[in-house]
Structure 1
Amino acid sequence: MTTETPSTGRGDPLYLRARQLVLFRRDPGIANLQRALRIGYQHATHLRDAMRGDILDCDDLGQNWRIAEGAHNGPDLLLQEKIVQAAHWVRTAHSMVVAAGAGMGIDSGLPDYRGDEGFWRAYPALGRSRLRFESIASPQAFQERPATAWGFYGHRLSLYRATTPHSGFDLLHAWGQRMQQGCFVFTSNVNGHFQKAGFPSARVYECHGSLHRLQCTVNCQGSIWPTVDLYPQVNDAACEWLGDLPTCPHCGALARPNIQMFDDWHWNEKRSAQQRMLLDMWLDSAHAPLVIEIGAGRALPTVRNFTRRMQQRGSRLIRINLHEANIHNPGDIELALGAKEALEGIAAQLLQHH
């Protein structure tokens, strides 16, 4: 046990940590604070008393303590401390994995597809037809409405080509280059923006494929080819492809993006499997790399599941997620910020230590 320190109420140096623990464990008990903070009974009692009217309610007799309604929704009072700690982890890391979901691209101006309404705001024509993202992003759409399916993906391909990745990509690239064993990217995004920002293709694993590659809808020869000669012409108002649809150069059947769609039994995963092999080989040589997870939600938890496996291997986690961070987690660093703001905040702290 540590030596007792005089309590200064909410000014106690341990107050914010104690507050975080109570909210994370949903336990206002004195024993919880004693064990977690390694403090004595009186110190823990003073800390809990200070939380009354902040995140805790109690009866008049001071016996029945409970977490106040809405306490979990308050601001992150440890945010700046977390950013400082995140900068320290980046500065001392020998290697790093960037695990990125859709939220990574929003600050570059890419649309947010969270929920039907968000998707339909980005594609009003599909909204008028009540076509959900899961319906158009499927092999069935290429069978039943190929011009619409290619209108959607053609528009996205043009958008990804025209969009410049935000400054956070450059920061991550620079940090990885300074690390002894470098950096590897694991991403569910299909936009190719990590490569566009300068990350080597051999250090990027696109677990759902890439919109910058095509395959045959019948997978006639198992081939995958680039989209460099594909110039989409799309009627944006109707979300319809104009002119001849892309075809397989081998058999003439309809071509499709080489990405894993919903209910997709025909995805050619050969390229992604090769990328995964390169990641596994790199992980064999990089001991417990720092993981920076960005914009990865729970709805499609591919990236979060990968992150969890990395934690089981001993990796530290910095999670950046504006909407789905657990800011009361005392074991990892979770920042309820957008990708660009969080990465620039960490970079500012790194500059202070030069």
Structure 2
Amino acid sequence: MPSDERFIRAASLIEQADGLLITAGAGLGVDSGLPDFRGSQGLWQAYPALGRARMHFQEIACPDAFREHPELAWGFYGHRLKLYRETQPGPAFGILQAIASRLPAGAFVFTSNVDGQFQKAGFDPLRILECHGSIHHLQCMNGCTNAIWPADGFTPEVDDDACRLTNAMPRCPRCHGLARPNILMFGDWEWIEDRTHEQEVRLGTWRRRLDRLVVIEIGAGTAIPSVRLFGERQDAPLIRINPTEAKTSSERGVSLPMTGAEAMRGIASELAGTGFLEA
């Protein structure tokens, strides 16, 4: 099926919907210029110090790294926090917002990304579910409290060459022990999921009001399939956007093997042609 016909089909599914569920993985962030950590080479290219140490993503993105190498762990996450604060959301975000504004129930976001790009793009924070948590929030390493608090007061200073934090690490306001990102890491039994659970409740309430949901999945891979599986369980038409893993088994699905920006521009062009969106 030529790609223009795929755009037509995707646009038709959107026009028939009363609400949009956006399910997003790391590929969407790549469209905004964020680094791709898939595979050790991607990580080591972005963080040469980890490459020199032959340190894999699972070894730095875990609670033990904060216990054993806190300056290194916070160097990695501090750099990411600074990067995400500085990065501007790519073009797909604006198109998704425009589509949502034309649907009766608007949109809800389900994402494994911890970067806060949807909030930065102007999406309603009360309509975002971050299934792996957020780098913009912290929790206590000691577990002295279940509190989750914003990282707004922490400005990381990082020696990029060594991937090490050079200023004071964030501390728990209660026990003054080391704080860590409120992110679900590898081998993580200590993640406090209360904030994400509240997001799940809000999504469930929104979802039950809909009769004609459509799902747009962008940049979600199969290595950690949380996002793909969630979208597939919705019993709704699925528009899957992924340069290398776009195949969908659903008869109501549309596969778009391209980047999020390319796909959303193509869909937006079709929707403008029907008058659903402004040209």
TM-score tier (shorter): over 0.9
SS at match of 2:234: helix
2:119 counterpart residue number: 195
Mapped partners of 2:148, 2:248: distance in 1: 42
- The root-mean-square deviation of aligned C-alpha atoms, in Å, is 1.2
- Which amino acid in 2 is paired with 1:296? A
- Among 329, 344, 347, which residue is 2:268 paired with? 347
Mapped partners of 1:152, 1:259: distance in 2: 13
Answer yes or no: is 1:300 the counterpart of 2:224: yes
CA deviation string 1:289-331 (max 9, x = no partner):
10001100100000011012113xxx00000001111279754
Answer yes or no: is 1:106 the counterpart of 2:106: no
> Which aligned pairs between 1:243-322 and structure 2 lie closer than 5 A?
243-311=167-235, 315-322=236-243
Q: How many residues align?
A: 275
The structure that has the greater radius of gyration is 1
- Among 238, 243, 247, which residue is 2:162 paired with? 238
* Unmatched tracts of structure 1, length 5 or more: 1-76
- Which amino acid in 1 is paired with 2:261? K
Q: 1:228, CA displacement in angstroms? A: 1.0
* Unmatched tracts of structure 2, length 5 or more: none
CA deviation string 1:237-283 (max 9, x = no partner):
10000022111111011000001000000001000000000001111
Q: Which runs of 4+ in 1 moved over 2 A?
A: 327-331
SS at match of 2:233: helix
Answer yes or no: is 1:325 the counterpart of 2:240: no
1:93 counterpart residue number: 17
1:337 counterpart residue number: 258
Contact 1:327/1:336 (CA < 8 Å) preserved in 2?
Answer: no
Answer yes or no: is 1:163 the counterpart of 2:87: yes
Mapped partners of 2:14, 2:192: distance in 1: 36
> Which aligned pairs between 1:60-75 and structure 2 lie closer than 5 A?
none
Answer yes or no: is 1:209 the counterpart of 2:133: yes
1:174 counterpart residue number: 98
Same amino acid, percent of matched pairs: 49
1:183 counterpart residue number: 107
SS at match of 1:210: strand
Mapped partners of 1:207, 1:177: distance in 2: 24
Mapped partners of 1:258, 1:329: distance in 2: 34
2:57 counterpart residue number: 133
Q: 1:145, CA displacement in angstroms? A: 0.3
CA spacing shift, 1:104–1:78, aligned 2, 3 Å: same
Which structure shows the higher helix fraction? 1
Q: 1:287, CA displacement in angstroms? A: 2.3
SS at match of 1:285: coil
- Which amino acid in 1 is paired with 2:98? A
Q: 1:352, CA displacement in angstroms? A: 1.1
Mapped partners of 2:273, 2:211: distance in 1: 28
Mapped partners of 2:212, 2:228: distance in 1: 17
CA spacing shift, 1:328–1:249, aligned 2, 3 Å: closer
Q: 1:353, CA displacement in angstroms? A: 1.4
Mapped partners of 2:57, 2:106: distance in 1: 36
SS at match of 1:184: strand
- Which amino acid in 1 is paired with 2:11? A
TM-score using structure 1 length? 0.76
SS at match of 1:300: coil
Q: 1:85, CA displacement in angstroms? A: 0.9
SS at match of 1:230: coil
Mapped partners of 1:351, 1:267: distance in 2: 44
